[in-house]
Amino acid sequence: MNKYNSALAGKDVQYQLHPYTDAILHQEVGPLIIERGEGVYVFDDQGKRYIEAMSGLWSVALGFSNQRLIEAAERQLRTLPFYHLFSHKSHSSSIELSEKLIELAPVPMSKVFLTNSGSEANDTVVKLIWYRNNAIGKPEKKKFISRRNAYHGITVASASLTGLPPNQRGFDVPLPGFYHVSCPHHYRYAQDGETEEQFADRLADELESVILSEGPETIAAFYGEPLMGAGGVIVPPRTYWEKVQAVCRKYDILIVADEVICGFGRTGNMFGCETFGITPDVMVVSKQLSSSYQPIAAVLVNDTVFEGIADQSHAFGTLGHGFTGTGHPVASAVALENLKIIEEERLVEYAAEMGDLMQAGLARFKSHPLVGEVRGHGLIAAVELVANRSTKAPLDVAGKLGKFLAGRAQEHGMITRAMGDSIAFCPPLISTQEEIQLVLDTFGRALDDTARWSGLV
């Protein structure tokens, strides 16, 4: 034993560099080591149980102990533990998964390209669109527009699409050719008296202004999450997607929907595109695709995008892009079984029902002196904390309230996530009414703790 909880914790500090972690602070506090999972709960190496109000990382749709997914992985490991998709090779699990994704897509899609993560998938989209535009004789059409506070990943290209400062500071991103328009958060960025529809008008005008300033012939695609996840669970204002899409279509700009968080039931429909009326040319899915039991993601492209890619690969004799793990047979088999379970158990409809319960429960905190806004859709939500409800100002340091509350929630046996001062909720799709109530009750206790600590109440 050492100053941490266990010898294993000491080894963690000695040997691991953690993502999204202050490396110096980590040496002082050590890790929370999660040892096992059961349903919507995880247990640390000291035996303490936590309800996972974030589904891990927005992703464990079926909880942490689904036997069908475990058995699907085991069957595939015994049959074909690995094979690749290079040079005309294939295998049944990747074929069947691709077929299923095309079948489920909310708009007609043509082909699926499989990757290991959402970041890789978004990086792939950038490359494929550049590749396609070269093929169709538009080599100048290479710029991408996304939004401030967007999250699209952490590879060099996907981090350039991302609009969150912590993912860009010190990394020399974004690259040239990546632009960010305003975050569609009405609570924070609407002008005094501006309705949601008027706010959407202004954002669409801003997008068109950027397009005209840069030259429509240079803009390849507009990139967006149907509902913004890691940037704070930002629900778009009414008519936003309708108006943004109209601008994109006017100037022949592709629309890419990043469904990495929204996909497979999170917003109360199979896809966020259905919830918010988006008709994309390209879709990216991951996370709940396999309930994160295996790392996998997918890019779906329509015929318009595929044809240029296919022609270019024929001219060059190959599509010079891919990963060793592209369409990994075990990951594909688990993802396919995961989608079967979501359909068979009608978890999209169930998540919509539980989402209504969660949204109504969180709405009861709207009058709390530290709560500025409660927002969300389906089984994803956020509560934004403020020190002053009138001015929407944070405590002396932005993020201080959120960090304290998340820590108190963990002490009370719930894992959530503070995105600045916004507390996120994204419980597994299988969560019961009682488990949703436990999330609400635990949040209430942590909020009361925070109020007392802040001295504001």
Average pLDDT over residues 179-207: 98
Average pLDDT over residues 67-93: 98
pLDDT of residue 457: 77
**How much of the chain exceeds pLDDT 90, in percent?**
98
**Residue 406, domain CATH:** 3.90.1150.10
Average pLDDT over residues 149-168: 97
Number of domains in the chain: 2
Burial class (CB in 10 A: 0-12, 13-18, 19+), 220: buried
**Residue 76, domain CATH:** 3.40.640.10
pTM for the complete prediction?
Answer: 0.96
Tell whether the model's pLDDT for residue 230 goes beyond 80: yes
Average pLDDT over residues 360-387: 98
Out of 310, 344, 378, pick the residue that ends a domain.
344
Same domain, 429 and 383: yes
pLDDT band at 1 (very low <50, low <70, confident <90, very high): very low
Tell whether the model's pLDDT for residue 197 goes beyond 50: yes
Q: Which residue has the tokens 């969560």?
A: 431
Average pLDDT over residues 146-175: 97
* Residue 88: inside a domain: yes
Burial class (CB in 10 A: 0-12, 13-18, 19+), 299: buried
Same domain, 42 and 124: no
* CB neighbour list of residue 174: distance below 8 Å, 6 or more residues apart: 159, 160, 161, 162, 168, 180
pLDDT of residue 2: 52
pLDDT digits (tens, 9 = 90+) for 315-372: 999 999 999 999 999 999 999 999 999 999 999 999 999 999 999 999 999 999 999 9
Same domain, 88 and 46: no
| Average pLDDT, rounded, for the chain | 97
Same domain, 337 and 357: no
Domain that holds residue 198: 69-344
Out of 326, 344, 362, pick the residue that ends a domain.
344
Same domain, 354 and 424: yes
DSSP three-state, residue 302: coil
Same domain, 376 and 313: no
pLDDT band at 397 (very low <50, low <70, confident <90, very high): very high
